[in-house]
Copies of this chain bind each other. A is one copy, B any other.
Amino acid sequence: MTAVYPGSFDPVTYGHLDIIRRASVFTDRLIVAVLTNSAKSSFFSVEERLDMLSAATDGMEGVVVRSFSGLTVDFCRSVGSNLIVRGLRAVTDFESEFQMALTNRELAGEVDTIFISTSTKYLFLSSSIVREIALYGGDVSAMVTPGVAERLTRRFKG
């Protein structure tokens, strides 16, 4: 079974990597899919986000990294997957994730969504919090890989 884990990954955090590792256990192939819809401005470019994800998932069996634009269900169909994986942190997450999952089933009845609860130690973690902490010189080494931390430092020091 092929599953798709879509997201912005701007940048990838240890929380995302926790979901990727756990989802890869029960899927044959997991496509980590970076959304590149131009309407939403991102901090890192698509290339940078793909680079960071590829480095961070290097050696994880069955995990591949891709980018896509448009509707998530259309991407799923294009890669022959009928399963979307999403991580859940808290209630606010849950509401919007639920809405997205129900909408996707409305658009493509054969594509289902499963949710994984984020590990407690990453419950507080989001890409935007990582960016904000890095902006003010805080220590993000417990939140992202060394490679991502270095890129954040370069960007804010540049």
Q: Collect the chain B residues with CB atoms within 8 Å of residue A136's CB.
A: 37, 69-71, 74
- Flag if A116 contacts B124 (CB, 8 Å): no
Q: Collect the chain B residues with CB atoms within 8 Å of residue A78's CB.
A: none
* Minimal beta-carbon separation of A141 from chain B (angstroms): 11
Interchain CA distance A8-B105 in the complex, whole Å? 26
Interface on chain A toward B: helix, strand, loop, or mixed SS?
mixed
Copies in the complex: 6
Interface residues of A in 111-145 (CB under 8 A from B): 112-117, 119-121, 123-126, 129, 133, 135-139, 142-143
Please classify how large the interface on chain A is, using the bins under 10, 10 to 19, 20 to 34, 35 or more. Answer: 35 or more
Binding site for B on A (CB under 8 A): 1, 3, 22, 25-26, 37, 39, 69-71, 73-74, 82-83, 88, 90-92, 94-96, 98-99, 101-103, 105-107, 112-117, 119-121, 123-126, 129, 133, 135-139, 142-143
